[in-house]
Every structure is written in structure tokens, then in C-alpha cells.
Amino acid sequence: MLLKTLLAATVLVLPHAHAQYVIPAADGSDGWADAFYKAKELVAQMTFEEKLNTTQQLQAPRVGAVPRLGYTGLYYADGSEGIRGLPFASAFDMALNGAASFDRGLLYRRAAAIGEEARGKGINVQFGPGVNLMRVPEAGRGFEYYGADPYLAGQAAEQHVKGVQANGVMALMRHYINNEQESGRHYTNVLVDDRTAHELYIWPFQDAVHAGVVSAMCAYNAINGVHACNNEQTLGKWLHEELNFQGFVMSDFGSIIINEEGRSANAGCDTVIGFTAYPFNDTQIFGQAPFGPNSALSRALANGTVPQSRLDDMATRIVASWYKLGQDQDYPLLETTANVLSKEHNELIRELGAKSTILLKNENNTLPLKNVKYLYVFGQAASVDLYGFPRPGGFSFGIDDDKGTFPGGQGSSYANLPYLITPFEALQSRARKDQSQVFGYFDNFNHTRQATYAAAADALNATCLVDVRNQCSEGYDRANLTASWEGDQTILAVASRCADTVVIYSACGPFNVTSWVDHPNITAILNPGGGGQEAGNSLVDILYGEVNPSARLPYTIGYQLADYPAVADTTLRPPNTSYADIDYSEGLYIDYRWFDKNEIEPAFEFGFGLSYTTFSYSDLSVQPSTASLYADEKPSSQALYDCLALVTISITNSGEVDGTEIPQLYLGSPAADSPVKVLRGFESVYLKKGESNTVTYQLTRRDLSYWNTQIEGWTLPTGEFQVYVGASSRDIRASGKMSFQLQ
């Protein structure tokens, strides 16, 4: 049967004293039984030192290998845009682009390709998905994640886990938890209430666990006064007890605090990369291994602060993950220089780049370009960085590095580019094909000359393309929402003299459009995000209509920074004596939820994106379960994923060209203090002109529930749900209502 009546939940109340808490040992449930049986047999044959070796990585390429038992140990690789720092691997579109596609199939294929390349090099653990939320618009690392909505991030996380692990490579979800800003990340303390934590920030991690992710990485920051890597509430209660996580937890580099190593192990951290860190400091790393032989952990085991059973559990979780992914069976040997590049992956990167390019404005059908004779291109983002980025040696954190075409953000997620197709290169190839003329001027700082050349273009009735971008990186948040390197001034200089100006704004998050969005000469705006190595080809596919744009904003673009509920404090510096508190006082109301609650008009709302065709919506049907349902369910229950309602709607391509629509379903809950609406469904629907299709959404118990702090579980509320289906969070095309009969 489609709909099920669920059993009542038991009350979950698990208080713990910090000094006494030890996470429950993994029990092999949720499909892990066979892997745990094998792992326990192997770990039982390990010596004390061999078990400790599984828990610490310093400089050795492989962690914890026990050749005499056939255990190969694990090799870790960073990089949410591909494999970090290794040659002959692809630089994929950034994760935020995947979110912008609103396409589960593309998200899966991107992840599967990353997993395929990782396996080809013999990598055991590929870091990703990153599922922190874009709480603050300036978030420097937002490009690594999936936007501002927990449902969207959770759906993307599920596809990433399944895609990577389909290749036998371990996915690693990060950064657990509340690493929503980079400024002061080593010493910030997030103050978050229980309901907000569960309905927003735990939500996408829960989806990753449900999808079968085998590893997690704890973050640098503290939550409610306790560091993420030794937090009994977040690691112990939330992740291991409530979500029944069976895999292993790894620290981020330097995220184990000195003198708290034993507490980290007891709270649920199983293995470490890097050294112990001083508290409240993001610049000094102490040169001591927290785990492994001759470590603080080994001493804690000797004096009984950490029980021997916890070490057994740590090693078992790690080895079970190795078995779970079949890495004991003919897994490739590590070869970091193996060439895993392929034509198929090049084409996938180009496809995703186009399908994640968001069309924000298109006056008078400026795009797609037709019958082009002359094209004038402005802005340094249209061409290569003349100062030599990407660097042959790998990634950079420098604020003024990488001033050319935007393939993706910087930091530890950066993948070395095997090549980079710039927009200007791709436009020249198109000009050669069309026998047209293309002109380029890339200096972002000479606005007088920009205006002069724009006037020359206008005299020829030419289109002017202005390509600007953000600079974003791990390690710091953006200081503001303006375009980097005088990009906004470049836009205005060109638009002042060219009547047909198309803005290409390669963004890594929300950006300020106030000074130029309504300029009469700016006829079109595109946001391609970070398109990886094929960025230029993807953009040209959209500009010339080879691909009809379908992407949607995974965040809200406001008119001013003050429109957002929270901003990053980029002035934070190491205080060295205490945490710097970040109060998540907005609660459930981030991004579009805040804009809706306070009736703030955005420049472009969450879920917004235009097409070269039009779509109509009709025949909304809402079918809730008619069974008598128990209201409450515990957080570890698989019943949370039972379908309790079906919503269907018909979509018709009413325009003149084939295209893809992204109909989105939002719910308004009758639960007290709930947002006006929250995303609870989306589909990518390709339709030929004149074609119609019916879209079906299955709403689960968790989709419909709120986190009940009294029972510490999920509760179906009494009252009437509002059901909205539309083309964005503000463009609602059909609405309905439903309610449930509760026992």
C-alpha cells in the first residue's frame, strides 16, 4: 500500500554528564550486519597498536594498513569539485551549481563521475558531500554546499552519496555541524536551539545517513559551548543515537583540541587528520598527534578515561566501512598520477554547467543570441588570469589569486584544472563557426576605456557581454556582496554606452544587483556560477540557445545586505581566551523563509530562473492519507520516510521551443511558529513545445512533521496544511489544502 499507519513513538530523553558519556557501539543495523561481522572478526585479530594506527593520519599516504590481515587501510582525498591537488583528474562544476540545476539525475551523475575518478586513482575516501547551509549570504565556503534550503541540500546529499559510493568509494559528509561561516571558524561558538538544529541544520546530514553514507567529518567550530569534535550532544546524541549512524567520524585537519582528545574519542570521533590544536585560535597548530600510538588517546586508554571497548568500536566502524563498500575485493592500488580524465566527463561538466546557468533577466528576448555580426566582450572573468592561476602546484587561499574565468571556489575543495575553456575562447570558436566578429577588452579597472569601446559597439548595434565574478574561498567570508575587482563599476561603464548589455555574473552565492539591475541598457542577466573546466563552452551553449536555461536560484538575492536575517562578522580575530558566540537567533527563518515572514521584496527569490519558453500549470490534486495516524515518531525510525500524501500537477510547455521546467512544491505547516512555506519537492521536467506531463510528489512523514522538543522526536501537527506548487518560492501557480486524522 502507498500509505501506512505508523506506530506511536517512544519518548527519547537521554541526558548525559560530559565526563561519563561514551557513544553507543555500532550494532550493524540498517544494512551493516555483514560488514560488521567481518570487521569485528578482523579487528579482534589486531594488536593494540594496530587498532591505534587506524585512528590517526599524519603524513603517511595510507591510514591504518595491516598487511598481515589483508587490511589495506584508507587513503583520503579532499575536494568537492573533484580530486584535490592530483594531476590528470577533472575539475567539475562546483556543488552550488549542482544545487542550481534542481536535477537529481545530474547531481547523481556528477557524483558518480567524481567517484569513478577517485576509484581510478585507488582513493578510498573522497571528501563530500558538504551540506552546511547558506545561512549568511557572504559565506566564503558556500560554493562547496547546496544552497540555503535544507530539503534541497538533503536531496543533493542523497544523490552525491549514492553516486560516489556506487563506485565503491566512501563518501564523507561534512562539516558536521553548523560550520555556516568561515570567519573565526576555529573559535566561534554557535548558539542554536533544538528545533532549529533538527529542522534546518541536521536535516541534510540525516538524508546523507539515510542514503548510506559511511563517513562524516566534524567541524572546527563549537556548538552550544562544546567543540564539534568532542560534542556529546551533536556527535553522540544527534548523530549516533538519533540517526543511528553506523559509519566512522573523522576530524577536520587540526580540529581536535589539546587536552580534549579522550573526550573527542568518547563523544564519537573515530579518526584524526593532522595535529592537536590550541583552543580559541585559528593560526597555531600544536605539533602533537591526538590519536594513534604514543598519543593522548593511547594514554587515555591506559588510564581508563577512554574504555578499551571504544577503541574497538572506532577500529570496527572504520574497517566495517571498508567492507561495506567492497574495498576488500580487488580494489585498485593507489596511483595518484593515474590519468582518469575522459571525454565523457568533459561532456558531463559542460552539460551541468549549462543546466546550472540561471537566467535572471531577458528583456525583449535578447537571448538567445541570433544572427550575430559583432560581439563585444568585457571583464577579466571572460579570459584567463594573466598572473598565472590556476597554479601548477595546486590550490590557493589568496584573496587576489585567480582573477580570470571562474571555474569554482578556492581552498581545499579546489581541483587542479587539466584545462580551462574560457568564455572568450568559446566565443571565438563560435565566431569562427558563424563567420562573425568578436572583440575583447578584459581590464576591469579602466572604466573610461570600457565606456569608449562600449560606445563603439553600440554604433554597430552590437551586443555587449560583461563578464564579472565573485572571489570566494575556504578560510574567509566575502567582505561584501559586490563583484570582485570593480566588477560592478565595469557593468555600469559598459551599460552607460551600450544599449544591449548582457551581464554574466559568475557568483558563489548571493550578490548585490541594486546599482545596475534596473538599468535600461541591461537587457539580460545570467549567473553561470562556477562551471569547472568547461565553463566557457557551457556559457556559450546558453547564450546561443543550444541549451534552453532551466536552472533556479538555490538562495535569495536581496537588494541590500540588511535584508538578510544574519551576516558574517568578518572582523573576528583570534581572542585566545574564549569562544566568539554566533547566535542563530533567527531560528527557522533563514533565506526565503525570512523574506516571506517579514514581507521583504527580493531582487530575485529562491527558486527563480527564466527560460526561453513558457510553461503553464493545471489540475493540482492533493491526496492525503485517510488513515488514523499516530502523531509522534522517534528520530531514528524508518517510518519517517513513509509516504503520507500525494500531490500531482500537470505541466505544459506553452511556448515555442523545447525546454525544462522545475516545478517546486512548498508546504505551509499548521505547527506553531512555522515558516510561511518550506520547500518539500521539486522535479526536473523536460517537455517539447506543446507537450504536457503530470508531475507527482510523494510527501513523507518527516516532510510533514515538526521537531517536537518536548518528546525529542517528530510530530505531525493538527490543523490544515497549505500546499503550493509553482515556478519559484514567490511564483506560485496552484495551491490547495489538506489535513490528517490523528489518534
**Residues marked as catalytic:** 252
What lies within 8 Å, CB to CB, of 520 at 6+ separation is none
For residue 573, which amino acid is it?
R
**Cis peptide leading into 129, omega within 30 of 0?**
yes
Task: Find the distance separating the first CA and the last CA of the chain, reported in whole Å.
Answer: 20
E strands present in 286-390: 358-362, 374-378
Cα 510–Cα 204–Cα 706 angle in degrees, nearest 5: 105
Burial class (CB in 10 A: 0-12, 13-18, 19+), 623: middle
Contact indicator for 126, 77 with CB cutoff of 8 Å = yes
Q: For 668, left (φ over 0), alpha (ψ -120 to 50), or beta?
A: beta
Asked if 714 and 633 count as a contact pair (C-beta separation under 8 A), the reply is yes
Dmax (CA) for the chain in angstroms is 82
Give the Cα-Cα-Cα angle 700, 705, 711 (nearest 5 degrees): 130
In angstroms, the CA 676 to CA 252 distance is 36
Cβ-based neighbour number of residue 194 at 10 Å: 15
CA-to-CA distance for 256 and 516, rounded, in angstroms?
46
Radius of gyration of the chain (CA): 26
Sheet containing 615-624, strands listed edge to edge, beginning at the edge strand earlier in sequence: 615-624, 643-653, 692-700
CA distance 512 to 495: 17
Helix, strand or coil for residue 401? coil
Q: Which three cell numbers stand for residue 355?
A: 543546466
C-alpha to C-alpha distance for 411 and 140, rounded to whole angstroms:
10
Alpha carbon distances (Å) from 635 to 147, 244, 434, 673, 705: 24, 9, 59, 20, 11
d(C-alpha 449, C-alpha 455), whole Å: 10
Pick from 249, 343, 334: nearest CA to 291: 249
